[in-house]
Amino acid sequence: MTKPFLQIDGKPIPYTAGQTIMEAATAAGIYIPHLCHNPEFEPHGSCKLCTVKVNGRNCSACTFPAADGQDVLNDTAELNELRRTVTQLLFVEGNHLCPSCEKSGNCQLQAAAYFLGMVDAHFPFFYPARELDGSHPDILLDRDRCIFCELCVRASRDVDGKNVFAIGGRGIDSRLIVNSPSGKLADTPIAATDKAARVCPVGAILVKRRGFEVPIGERLYDRHTLAEESLEREEPIVESRHD
C-alpha cells in the first residue's frame, strides 16, 4: 500500500499514520528547529521554535499530526525570523552567560542561536532574580538558565517515576519548582543517574564534579550543527542555514 504524502517546502514527504509533522520531517532528513521536543517523550509544544505554516496556518510541528496533502512551509525567511525572535527572548528573560557556562558547546539554546544566525539579543535583558540550589550532593540546579521546556518535569514523572520537578507561575513569573517540603533538591529522591538529571538541553541541571571533562572546542555543537545532531541518529546530515 502506498504511503500518503505531505509537502514540506514543496518537497513530497511520505509519512505513516500517527506521525506528527516533526516526525515525518525528521524521518525524511529535514530539520525543523526545536528546543522542548525530545523523541523520547510525548510532544509538548511549549517552546514554539518548531512553528511551521500548514496550509497557511501557524502550527507546532512537534504536536500537529501529518495529513495527506498538507502544504507545510518550514524554511522561510518569515519563520526563521520568528524563531530568531523566540530565541532572543529566551536569552533575555533568563541569565545565560555562555562564556562561563559549563554547558557551552553542549547547549541546545546556544546551538539554536548559531543555527538561526542570531548575532545579538536585540531586546533589553530582564536580569531576573532566580534561586540557585546547590543543596544536593551530586546535582546543581541553576534556575538562571532554565528555559521552561519541561523536559526535566516529564523525565522525572514519566521515566524516573519520582515527580521531582514542576513549573509554577505564569509568563515572566514562571519558575521551576522542586517538589519537596523544603523546596530544596537535597530533600528529593533524585539521583545523578536519573533521566531528569541529564535531559536538560541547557545548563539548568548539571551533575556535579563533571565540569569541563570535555574541553571547549571538542563538545557536541563545536563539532556538529544543531541540525546535524538532531538528524544524524536516523537520517543523513543536513547543513545549517544563516539568513
Strand pairing category for 132-133 and 139-142: antiparallel
Q: What is the span of the domain harbouring residue 237?
A: 1-118+226-242
The answer as to whether 220 is a domain residue is: no
What is the average per-residue pLDDT within 195-213?
95
Question: In DSSP terms, which residues pair with 141 in a beta bridge?
Answer: 133, 205
Residues 54 and 14 in one domain: yes
Residues 237 and 158 in one domain: no
The answer as to whether 150 is a domain residue is: yes
Q: How confident is the model at residue 236 (pLDDT cuts 50, 70, 90)?
A: very low
pLDDT the model gives residue 238: 32
Mean pLDDT is lowest, of 31-45, 61-75, 118-132, 218-232, for: 218-232
- Render pLDDT for 76-90 as a digit per residue (tens, 0 to 9): 999 999 999 999 999
pTM above 0.75, yes or no: yes
- Give the SS3 label for residue 67: coil
Q: Which residue is associated with the grid cell 533538591? A: 185
Q: Is 50 exposed, middle or buried (0-12, 13-18, 19+ CB in 10 A)?
A: buried
The answer as to whether 28 is a domain residue is: yes
Q: What is the CATH number of the domain that holds 176?
A: 3.30.70.20
Mean pLDDT of the residues in the chain? 91
pLDDT the model gives residue 239: 35
Is pLDDT above 50 for 21? yes
The answer as to whether 218 is a domain residue is: no
pLDDT the model gives residue 172: 83
What is the average per-residue pLDDT within 153-181?
95
Residues 168 and 146 in one domain: yes
